[in-house]
Chain A
Amino acid sequence: MAQLLSQTVWLIPVYALVGAILTALWFPGITRRTGPRPAGYLNALMSALALGHGLLAWPALWQRPALHLDFTWLQVAGLDLTLPVEISALSVGAIILICVINLLAQVYAIGYMEMDWGWGRLFSLLAFFEAGMCALVLCDSLFFSYIILEILTLATYLLIGFWFCQSLVVTGARDAFLTKRLGDLFLLMGVLALWPIAGTWDFTELAAWATSAAGREYALAHPTTLALVGLALIAGPMGKCAQFPFHLWLDEAMEGPIPSSVLRNSVVVAVGAWVLVKLEPVLALSPLAMQATVAIGAITALGGTLIALAQIDVKRTLSYPVSAYMGLVFVAVGTGQTQTALVLLLTHALAAALLMLTVGNFVWNNITQDVRAYGGLWARRPITGLCFLVGLAGLVALPPLGGFWALLDLIDGLWATRPWLVGLILVINGLAAFGQVRTFCLVFCGRPKPMTERSWELHWPFVLPTVVMAGFTLHLPLVLGYLGVLPTWAEVNTDLALLLVLSSMSGISLAALIYLSPAIPKPVAFPVPALQNLVAYDFYTPKLYRVTVVGLVDVISRLNNLVDQFLVDGAVNLVGLVTLWSGESLKYSSSGKFQLYILTMLLGLAGVALASFFLSH
């Protein structure tokens, strides 16, 4: 039975896709008859089915070699595009993670959407994301990964644009689409350029080629080409993972509904990193590409945690750390620690999903997302508060929870080669802890404010997924132990572990001190206002975009349009005008006098005669 289920794992994306297609049919016409809710139930059911399939299939794959299936998509003129599917414990494990978070997000959405009519659209897109992500982790080909990422870019556009009546949503959807699309197109360029070099797009074969003698020889002979290809390949994941300078969309995406944010912050960004992990052998051929990966990751990690400190929108205080943690994943990949990267993705996914779920819990009935309007929720919302603490502890390095082991693994691998990066990660971890505790203190501690006077725990569709996710986060170390990725006590570098815990503790205690102490005036300001503005306005990235890329395209397109209207079309119209004008003026030469005509003919004849005379001599 498990055998059969494991061979048919490719059905999992299909379940979700069927759900998405069926729900997409929930037009206003059908909604009027049935109400919007069946769309949600249907999709939650399909998600549960997918999850069940994945869970049952996993035991048959654990510690066994991966199954490979091939589906022919297109064979034309010497190009063979076959979709290779890799069914392994890793890919099915990733599917289980995706399905769990998706199922919880969908149950959550059943509560969240209570006052909205757009169930069909939201659930259809959620299911579409589930299908896309499951298909992405199953497919073993760069080309098909590109296809799926690109389709998900469109889905992102629609999902962020869910409440399309609000202007911020509209611009957010636009920016997300264009940023991701830009990354995707660089990825496509990399895909195209990789083919003549490696002759394959299958990740397995690419890895084999990159480690083979042929790959190394090529790398020695053409370092520039490989560096460019590597940079193009990184750009795709950079867009998906919201890395500098493609990070702005994730912030704007927070205008979308919370269930989609849960999904996006945890697994959607992670699939970009998944592709990066798969590409690591190719990137490793170019030292420059690897260094760029590390640099981008490190800059994003530091910048993201710093920006999060100055955000007043509670969803945004969560979105920037997502960029930051994906930056750490970039660092891990850039230094060749792919397993660490995957562990980091797993621990981050659970913690980030949990944090977003808890935030949704209090935003839903306190109406505001402004942290300055919150305070004193601890007594009123104990479950939510506890779950937030669990998410916080799971995210930053606090033993024994997941984030600690992932970060310890990361700095352990870096210590010997790049000690300065270890220092940076310690700072980032401290800042991340500071930022999350800041949010916690602002929301849950202090005195209640007008917006939080009346606040109660919500009904089960909110609380159940949150608590279940908290359970998962708490039990994650056990899962990691079962998977065999935890180090034994003898292997643990205790100095590094202590440093890590110290950095988390100092971040936490500093934040608690600043935000709980009555001696420090609230709202807390940075010592230098310019610095605060720099961070609060996201390093002025929107302005940067406006004066560079956006401005450039705008100016060029306007110029182009002017050229088109006045030069190209103007020339045509000028010819027309000249024709009309010459006709108009020539008509006055028809005087009706016979003599004039004779004279014209004679002059003409004389001209012809003279011309022929000169030509013949």
Chain B
Amino acid sequence: MLSVLIWGPILGAVLLACIPVRPAERTTRPLAMVIAGSLLVWSLWLLIGRFDLANGSGQFQESLAWISALGLNYSLGVDGLSLPLVVLNTLLTWVAIYSTPQSVLRPRLYHVLILLTSAGMTGALVAQNTLLFVLFYELELIPLYLLLAIWGGPRREYAAIKFLIYTALSGILILGAFLATTWLSGAPSFDLAVVSSYINRLAPATQLTLVVVLLLGFGIKAPLVPLHTWLPDAYGEASPPVAMMLGGVLAKLGTYGLVRFGLQLFPDAWTTLAPTLAIWGTVCVLFGALTAIAQKDIKRMVAYSSVGHMGYVLFACAVGTPLALTGAMGQMVAHGLILAILFHLVGVVELKVGTRELDVLNGLLNPLRGLPSISALLVLGGMASAGIPGMVGFVAEFLIFQGSYATFPLLTLLCVAGTGLTAVYFVILLNRTCFGKLDNATAYYPPVVWAEKAPALVLMGLILFLGLQPTWLVRWSEPTAIALGRPLTTATLPAPSSIATPS
């Protein structure tokens, strides 16, 4: 069942690649949309129809011996951590294809690469074998590099190479850590279940070293400060659909890896590092937000917002209580949706107005000559990112704060302050772009067509729905989070009997 989500897009890509050039210009986009759409339906069916909510560990497991001499097996499975991300991936793939303009350059190659990226992403999420994970992790990198380097903005080559070097380095670090884990612990294969049962044979110092290497590897991907400098360039130069995929989904592999291979695989070493990681997460939150305030380019501003929001995830993983972990998993999905809508809207603004400069943009909320609906959605999207309740960002962040306060009160409060700083730069962004007086001399923007609004409307619908009905955000992750989470230290919580007894 999971294989469909990996091989479906790969076969689809092969199919697209086989279409002769002439009809390809017209047929690839609808065809890619059909493929992505059916994958989305399939993943939704798994999510809603088949997934067992009571079971927090691996489901839909598939296992095939592949190169057993190496210990590399084709073993797949999902749990509450990976399944929402798998669905997010299929959803954003579809949205990315839908929001790609009809006139995209070299449509056949473009859609093939998007589908391959999606396949790599799903593969990495569902891989239950560490080597298989690395394989997919690297697989997704190549099409993405090309997507950046061919369809990006003016500085795309610099950005793409930077992205490639960083992510390849991250892949090497992760591969090294995985090899060392298996070889040093003497595990017979790289299967996650096997490796984790052998993990205690490693000396605590070795475990610690391996976790640090993994942290660096996944920290590049997430990204965490100071490993983030590929991000503003890559996000800034990528075309909006690619930025959507890159920021919305692929960066989630970083935080996903932190939970799966850090917290889950090395629970003891993770606990030792927890205070440091919590501080690191808080630094990311504040650093990302503060740097975003100083940006003059709205796309880079949105890009830096991502650094801050990933900081919350690291922070929550460091805390490791079930509630904080639920929040962290919720935040991955929430951030994926919010970042996708923001990149889409910023892309539309750039397309229509022709600039992303804060000092040039003005008055887009103007109902007649501006971009009123896009601006309205931008206001909502920015506010969702700033954590205004009623939208999905708040739910995830609140769960993180509530789950963390008992463990790290001061750092939690600093993270709360971080949401305040997030509000600051989004208000700057909205005030400059949406508010203000539209310059009548230049305001001859092409009309926004329905196809440009639709992706944002779909995403905004989801953001609002999950914000108002957060049960649908957390129900899949909750059992996994409880299984992964550290039991609460009872000393810090009030005994139930002392709670509010009416006198």
Contacts and interface: CB of A to CB of B under 8 A. Distances in A.
Interface of A: 27-28, 31, 73-79, 117-118, 146-148, 150-151, 153-154, 157-158, 161, 164-167, 169-171, 173-174, 177-178, 181-182, 185, 188-189, 192-193, 195-200, 202, 204-206, 208-209, 211-214, 553-554, 556-558, 560-561, 564, 568-569, 572
A209 B500 contact: yes
A165 B363 contact: yes
Contacts of B492: 196
Given A78-B323, A164-B365, A553 B162 contact: no
Interface stretch (B182-190, B205-213, B266-274, B411-419): B411-419
A147 B389 contact: yes
Contact of A553 (B413, B424, B481): B424
Contact of B435 (A161, A554, A557): A161
B431 A28 contact: no
Nearest to B499: A199
Contacts of B323: 76-79
A568 B225 CA distance: 9
6 contacts: A27-B373, A77-B478, A164-B434, A199-B498, A554-B293, A561-B294
Interface in B289-335: 290-295, 321-323, 325-326
Query: What 5 A-B pairs have minimum CB-CB distances, sorted nearest first?
Result: A199-B499, A561-B294, A557-B293, A205-B500, A164-B435
Contacts of A28: 367-368, 372
Given A199-B494, A568-B229, A557 B388 contact: no
Contact of B427 (A169, A178, A192, A212): A178
Contact of A174 (B401, B405, B431, B502): B431
Most buried by B among A117, A199, A204, A213: A199
Interface string B392-418: 001100010111011001001100110
A556 B416 contact: no
Contact of A173 (B225, B226, B435): B435
Contacts of B33: none
A193 B435 contact: no
B437 A181 contact: no
B499 A556 contact: no
B421 interface: yes
Nearest to A149: B389
Given A76-B399, A177-B427, A182-B420, A212 B389 contact: no
A211 B503 CA distance: 8
Contacts of A572: 162, 229
B132 interface: no
A151 B423 contact: no
Nearest to B475: A76
A154 B437 CA distance: 21
Given A77-B478, A147-B390, A196 B379 contact: no
B326 A77 contact: yes
B76 to A, nearest CB: 27
B421 A553 contact: yes
Contacts of A192: 401-402, 405, 412-413, 416
Q: Is the interface of B mostly helix, strand, loop or mixed?
A: helix
A102 to B, nearest CB: 20
Interface in B338-370: 363, 365-368
B262 interface: no
B446 interface: no
Contacts of A146: 389
Interface in B248-291: 287, 290-291
Given A192-B416, A209-B500, A568 B226 contact: yes
Contact of B403 (A77, A167, A181, A556): A77
Contacts of A209: 499-501
Contacts of A213: 503
B493 interface: yes
Contacts of B225: 568
Q: Is the interface of A mostly helix, strand, loop or mixed?
A: helix
A83 to B, nearest CB: 12
Nearest to B395: A74
Contact of A560 (B294, B365, B423): B294
B402 A195 contact: yes
Nearest to B435: A164
A153 B426 CA distance: 14
Contacts of B47: none
A150 B287 CA distance: 24
Contacts of A556: 290
B428 to A, nearest CB: 8
B482 interface: yes
Contacts of A211: 503
Contacts of B120: none
A205 B499 CA distance: 9
B37 interface: no
A208 B372 contact: no
B470 interface: yes
Nearest to A217: B498
Contacts of A77: 321-323, 325-326, 399, 403, 474, 478, 481-482, 485
B102 interface: no
B327 to A, nearest CB: 9
Nearest to A567: B226
Given A77-B482, A153-B388, A568-B226, 19 more contacts: A28-B372, A76-B475, A77-B322, A77-B403, A151-B390, A158-B379, A164-B434, A167-B436, A169-B435, A174-B427, A178-B424, A185-B417, A208-B500, A208-B501, A212-B501, A214-B501, A553-B290, A561-B294, A564-B287
A211 B502 CA distance: 9
A514 B388 CA distance: 49
A78 B372 contact: no
Contact of A193 (B368, B389, B394, B409): B409
A199 B501 CA distance: 11
Given A193-B405, A556-B290, A177 B423 contact: yes
Contacts of A557: 290-294
A96 to B, nearest CB: 26
A189 B326 CA distance: 20
Nearest to B409: A193
A196 B405 contact: yes
Contact of A154 (B295, B383, B485): B383
Given A76-B323, A192-B402, A560-B290, A170 B500 contact: no
A74 B330 CA distance: 13
Contacts of B406: 196
A73 B468 CA distance: 8
A564 B499 contact: no
